[in-house]
Amino acid sequence: MSGEAERWWVTGAKEEMSPRDILSEPLVGWRAWHVVYENSLPVLVSWSLNTTWPARRKLESACERHGPRPHRDHDCGIHAFKSRDEALAYAGFLPYEGLSFVRAMEGRACVAVGRVSLWGRVVAHRGGYRAQFAYPYELFLIDGDQGIARDLARRYAVEVSDEPGRLAA
Ligand SMILES: [Zn+2]
């Protein structure tokens, strides 16, 4: 998918949005989420921030300085990695020499790792993307169970597997 994605990048410093920065077709990145219960149903919470991902509607970036459109020279936007292994490593499930952010969360039911659709204005950089809009595409639970998978699938209307072994496939 990197070839597909690269067509949309713009390299070099750039402050104004150009048509080439705007994705009309989503690209797909990888992320990790905490799965916590809210009103008896599991929800996805961002790994490093306590953002609850809405169900059946897009998550939109909101930077205090730049609004919803991620700025090239800031770290705003909804983050995603280019590869599954980078997302797993970031969350501490794979040994990795680079960026890692192991984080426990009180009340966490399990962890979800999976693919996420990104669109709107998307800034690509080494290791990942920062997007204006995002929505989960396909999830794999780590230490989850069938009940959580079923409830998450129903809530977000995406495929959810409780077999993390399928991640390796
Ligand atoms: Zn910003």
Position 163 in a domain: yes
Extended strands (E) in the chain:
22-38, 41-46, 59-60, 78-81, 108-125, 128-142, 159-161
Neighbours of 9 (CB within 10 A): 14
Question: What is the pLDDT, as a whole number, of residue 19?
Answer: 54
CA of 9 to the centre of ligand 1 (A): 18
Place of tokens 């669109």: 119
Sign of the torsion angle spanned by Cα atoms 9, 10, 13, 17: negative
CA of 17 to the centre of ligand 1 (A): 14
Q: How confident is the model at residue 25 (pLDDT cuts 50, 70, 90)?
A: confident
CA of 153 to the centre of ligand 1 (A): 32
Position 13 in a domain: no
- Cα 91 from chain centre: 12
CA of 29 to the centre of ligand 1 (A): 20
**What H or E segment, with its residue span, contains residue 84?**
helix 84-90
CA of 162 to the centre of ligand 1 (A): 35
Question: What is the pLDDT, as a whole number, of residue 23?
Answer: 66
Position 2 in a domain: no
pTM of the full structure: 0.82
Q: What is the pLDDT of residues 32-63, one digit of tens each?
A: 999 999 989 999 999 988 899 999 999 999 99
Q: Classify residue 20 by burial, with Cβ atoms within 10 Å: 0-12, 13-18, 19+.
A: exposed
Phi, psi (rounded to 5 degrees) for 69: -95, 115
Number of domains in the chain: 1
CA of 73 to the centre of ligand 1 (A): 8
CA of 64 to the centre of ligand 1 (A): 7
Position 146 in a domain: yes
CA of 163 to the centre of ligand 1 (A): 36
166, 113 Cβ separation under 8 angstroms: no
Question: What is the pLDDT, as a whole number, of residue 9?
Answer: 34
74, 66 Cβ separation under 8 angstroms: yes
Position 93 in a domain: yes
Q: Of residues 8 and 154, which shows the higher confidence score?
A: 154
Which of 108, 98, 117, 118 has its CA nearest to residue 141? 108
CA of 69 to the centre of ligand 1 (A): 8
Position 17 in a domain: no
Six token digits for residue 46? 């961002």
CA of 129 to the centre of ligand 1 (A): 14
Averaged pLDDT, 86-90? 91
Question: What is the pLDDT, as a whole number, of residue 53?
Answer: 97
Q: How confident is the model at residue 152 (pLDDT cuts 50, 70, 90)?
A: very high
Domain that residue 152 falls in:
22-168
Position 63 in a domain: yes
